[in-house]
Amino acid sequence: MSWVLVTGGAGFIGSNFLYSLRRRQPGAHIINLDLLTYAGNPENLTGFQGDSRYILVRGDVADRELVQDLFSRYPITEVVHFAAESHVDRSILDPGVFVRTNVVGTFTLLEAARQAWKNPAGPEAPRFLHVSTDEVYGSLGPLDPPVTEAAPYAPRSPYAASKASADFLGRAYFHTYQLPVLITNCSNNYGPYQFPEKLIPFALCQALEGKPIPIYGQGANIRDWLFVEDHCQALLQVLEQGRVGETYNIGGRQEVPNLELVRRLLGLLGEMRPDLGDLNRLITLVPDRPGHDWRYALNIGKIESRLGWRPRVGLEEGLRRTIAWYLGHEDWLDRVRSQAYRSFLMQQYGTGVVG
């Protein structure tokens, strides 16, 4: 019977992954290590209430004694490492937090696994899946081909640099200690339970309240969008069938400029909530952020050909499902948007956004 340690499982992707894991492996024991900061919400996991095989541990992934204790107390066979500070804007304001969580936290986990897994290459070998980002590859031009797993790293924000450092640590532990590490790099996720600092839920929240929706620069920066359920299915494929020591890109093949994405989102929201009126009037162009990467795009041919995964949810379907979820969970939105969140918005965008 598998014992899976999931870090950051109360966050956006982590909580969606836990539901996918439970459906895929109903008998698995799950240990969820989460510090429950502003973006980690136990309400995301109400479906696990009464589940005797689920354990929530509130704690810091960089806490060496705590992490070692978990490996001593439980026969952990798999690690899925989501826990990370992930918002670029926040990394510009406070990079030290990103170094601690993303770099020191990953090192702490790797070291605890190395000490606990005495025979990492045996017939019942454990597996350590480190979940990373496309931002480690840096910015692409409009005509550059999507990057493969062999592309050089070129991070340009404190967030991207901290994730790149974590990736390199994972690779070093595989090559030096034969720790069975797998790494995934994904494009921008969206879907249920996403904290409203990120573009799609943020724009939805602002639109529902009739407040300005700030877009950096001219809104021409391009991102590839991946529905979170597709991402979770890819992670399960890598965890179960991926080759240790390998990296797999996971993308949605849905490249869209930010301004166009917001207009599509508002158009669909307007269909579902016509009472909100003309929502495009809320779009407000603001000065660009420092070091704003122009475009991200991933070549996902490796995971398609070797593991048989491909994205299944198109952008319009994914946006409709996302909007429907948020419209049905406005009470959840009210509770997660604390005073600390409003203070961050004011610091980042000014009083006109917060109102």
- Catalytic-labelled residue, pool 89, 134, 149, 255: 134
156 conformational bin, left if phi > 0, alpha if psi -120 to 50, beta if neither: alpha
Q: How far is CA 333 from the centre of its chain?
A: 19
Strand partners, 198: none
CA distances from 106 to 37, 138, 286 (A): 17, 21, 35
- Please name which of 342, 59, 26 lies closest in space to residue 205, comparing C-alpha atoms: 342
CA distances from 98 to 160, 161, 164, 313 (A): 9, 9, 12, 31
- Catalytic-labelled residue, pool 34, 60, 85, 135: 135
Strand 29-34 relative to strand 213-216: parallel, antiparallel, unpaired? unpaired
Distance CA 13, CA 189 (A): 8
Sign of the four-CA dihedral 179, 180, 186, 192:
negative
- Residue 159 annotated to the active site: yes
CA distances from 248 to 41, 106, 152, 223, 316 (A): 28, 18, 14, 18, 25
CA distances from 116 to 55, 211, 334 (A): 20, 51, 42
Q: How far is CA 16 from the centre of its chain?
A: 10
Phi, psi of 334 (to 5 degrees): -60, -35
Distance CA 102, CA 295 (A): 23
- Catalytic-labelled residue, pool 159, 173, 193, 216: 159
Catalytic residues: 134-135, 159
